[in-house]
Structure formats: structure tokens, C-alpha cells
Structure 1
Amino acid sequence: MTLEFPSHLPTIDRTRIATLAERNLADHGDGLLGLVLSGSAGRGMATDRSDLDVFVVLSDEAAAGRTTSHSSDVDEIPWSRSELDTVGAYGTEEWWFRWSCAWAPVLLDRTGGGIAGALRRQATLDPREADAVLIDHDRLDGWVNFAYRALKSNRDGRHPESRLDANESVPWLLDVVFALAGRVRPYNKYLAWELRTHPLDGWPADELLDLVGRLLDGDAAAIRETFVRVRAACAAYDAGRGHMRTTDIFEGWGAELDVFVGQPQPLQA
């Protein structure tokens, strides 16, 4: 049994994982299908306070009765092959787990590549899933709504209220940006890391992170700039999908979108 470790993983962590692997092999034999390293350690972001998040992929029979075990060094998370192959829809409990598969190194795959393929599937959206996030679950319309409300409050001099709506718009925006790219939005902790190590087309990391920072400050100019970019990205998305569904969302706002071309009021301390 040969384990493949990422180059950044220190020797002490390799030893801990090797011990875990040997124990699971002894316990489950052929029922041990693979090991995946998630969390900060898997992505080269570990600190001296980080533990190891190791997914132990098992046959359905071997996984029966197994539960997650926690220690100060390792969280050992059993995962049946059926669970790995179950792709959760947006808003379900399984959905919130999907990004943990993104860019997570496979340490052991005794399925001939099946585990790596299943991880990629978990972390990406097929066209119907992307449509569902953007349209059926209202993430695009919801983002427009929060951005619109923030600009109206800014226009009317309600700056704390504008900041609140601008802040609330950010999670919706990130869902939209990643769905347009066919990817599951990362956990906030990993946003900058993913944008820099796995760039999004049309959204350079520093530009998007700057926009997010300005949105969190309630910057009305940033809201308007983001609106222009999202609308253009949606038009390109619709062209690729052969429909007009995201464009129709913008069109449905009619003259209300005029607020996106107005002049922002100066921020107040």
C-alpha cells in the first residue's frame, strides 16, 4: 500500500496518516478503498494549531457502523463509497459538504481513479446544477436585490443600512460567480486561496478580492462595478447554455436597474 503525500505535508503528519492507513487496512482489508486529505493540511494552509482531516473511503459494508473520531491531531472521517458518489443538491445537508472535496489530495485510491473522479464531481456543477443555483434558488436575483437595496439606501443617505445590505449581498455574489464557472463556492476561509491557486476565468483573484473588500465597506461604486461585470458574465453564460434565463432576470427588473448607473453618495464614518 503506497501513499502519495502532497509535498508540503511535514514528516510528522505523514507518519500519523501512514499509521491510520495501516490500521484501516488491517481492520477492513479490501473494504478500504482510499484516503483523502481535506482541510487546511490538504491545501497547504495548516498552522501549528491545525489538525488533519482525513476521509477514509470504505466500501458500504465496511463503513457500516463507523463514525467520525476526533483527536487533537487527526479527525478520521469514514465515508462510504455510496456517500462519495451521492451528489447533494443546493440547500441540502450534502451540498454544504461538497466543497470539502475540492482540490483535496487523494493519498490512496484503490479503485483505479474512481475516488479522484468522484471528488471532482462533488466540487463542480454540471449545467443543470449551475442553472439551479443561479435561477431556481434565486441566488442571482437575490444578489441583485441586495445590491439594489444597498444603492437605494446609499442614494437616500442611509449609510449604515446601505452597508448592511452590501455586506449581505456578498455570499449571494460569490454563489453566483462560482456557479457561472461551474464550481461550488469555497468556504470563506479558502476563498483567497482558491482564487489564487485555481483562478476563475474573468475574475482575477486580486480584482475580485478587492471588490469583495469594497462591498464589505459599503462602497456604492464597487456595487455598480460588480453589477456590470456580473451582467456581462451572465450574458456569456446564457450564450453558452443556449438560453436567456439569467438575462431574463435582469430584464425583469426593468427601470429599477437605473439605480445601478446613478451617482453614489460619499461614505460617512
Structure 2
Amino acid sequence: MGLIVYADFNDPACYLASQRIDELLERAVPVRWRAVEHERGLSLLGTATPADQGRRARELAEATRLALPGELPAQAPPPVTTNTRAAVAAYAEAVADGVQDEIRRRLFGAIWTGRQDLTSAYAVRRIITDVMYPRAPVGPRRCSSLPQPMTGDPDQAWATRRLGGTIAPDGGPLTTAGMLRLRAWREEWCALGRPRLPVLIDADGTVHTAAAALRRLADLVTRARTGGVTTQPRRCTGPTPTSSRSAVAVPISLRPRSVSARPTASSSPISGTSVSPG
């Protein structure tokens, strides 16, 4: 089944978990990242009280103590605490487009490296556009007879998604599939008792939360670097022509689809798997 992680974008411990998940994905360890909004009551105006800022600073200090070399470049909490309604919706929608891992990295980077406030859906849409429709030099196209990208595209819904229109102006998911996916992730997290994030569920069903989850991820990263983490085994039904071998661990590729690949009708509405898909 692989690993399952529940996390939010405005939590420094989750940012640390995201960096470790990236290394596991690079080493073909299957991980399903599921975004949940753990503080729905945060202000939509982007304000923060001094007491709230003090708590954020303590959370960042705790995460910094658990960081491995090269992790967590943020040195201070963002000046404004982001309400992550739009961010988690953008991630849920990105699963259908196969760009969820890059969206996750960009959202965390904007908050914890760029120290931006992503409460507004329009701020999140700009990040979606940068991923789905990256900027390119216009010079080569000025004298070209070829049409401009997306000009005359009969699939207007896809063009809208590439321009950031995967979330509604109020920050909610735009499609029914995205809404169902987001609801399922939240219900699963609530069924665990709404533990402190990040939450890591091992392949054997063991649940790790908060600092314990970070320590477990650090252990998995260390083992992955030495080849000690395996994915789903391939069972051999009989001996090979040269020898009799037991189950051989075969890594599963988790590279996302190309940005140009369009979502298909057969896509699962609640899947969070990072395969070609959290």
C-alpha cells in the first residue's frame, strides 16, 4: 500500500515532512500525500495576533531541531498565517492533472521560503499557472505563423485549468471530483482523531504523528539512501531458468504525468497516489 501522509501547508513540521517525501519519491518509494486544512477558523483577512505569532515561532523552532542537514531554510515564521482553504483545494485538483507534487513544493516554498500569504485564491492561482502554463520567451513566436499556445483550443475547460482555474474564487475546489477527494482525505484524518500534523501511516498500518512522524520519515530517508526501503514485492511463482528466487522488491515509478497530459474520465475521484499519479 505504501506510505500515506496527512499534512497542511501552513505547518513548519509539514514543510519538513514534504522535503523528506520528495527524497523518498526520488528513490521510487510510493507515497500518497493528502492535504487537509487543520485550522479552518483562521482569518481570511490574513491577520495574526502576537500570541498566534509566538506559537508559530515555537512550532518552527521545534521543527528546526528535528531538521536534517540542508532542510528547512525558513528562519522565521511568515508575517501572516495563511488560511489554507485555497491551497489544499489546489493540491486536491492537481492530482487529476498529474502535477500534485510540483504544486505541493511550490505552495510550501511560497509560504516558508517566500514568506507569502496564500489565503487568497488568486495568489494560489498564480502558482497553479506557473506550474501548468510556465512562462516562455515570446521572441521566437513574434514572427512565427504557428498559433500561440492554447489559441483556438477547443477544450476551453482545459485551457482554463492551465491558467489557474482549478479552484473557485472563494478558494474551494472547482470540480466535483476535487471536492470528493478533499472530503475523503479530511474524513480519513478525522477518523484518526484529528491528531497533530503531520500524520504518517506506514505500510503496515502503524500511525505516527507530529514529531514521531518526522523521526520515522528521517529513518526511512536514511534507509532509502542505503537501499534499505523496498516497495511492493513481485512474487515469483516458480524457479527461474538459472536459480530459484524468492520475492524480489521492484521499485514503482512515481514520476508524475507531463503537464500537457489531460485528466481522463477513468481517474479515481479520491486517489491521492503520486503516480502517473498523494
Same structural fold, with TM-score higher than 0.5 when normalized by the shorter chain: no
Interval of TM-score (by shorter of Structure 1 and Structure 2): under 0.3
TM-score by length of 2: 0.22
Please identify the structure whose Cα radius of gyration is greater. 1
**Higher RCO (CA < 8 A, seq sep 6+):** 2
Write 1 or 2 for the structure with the bigger share of helix.
1
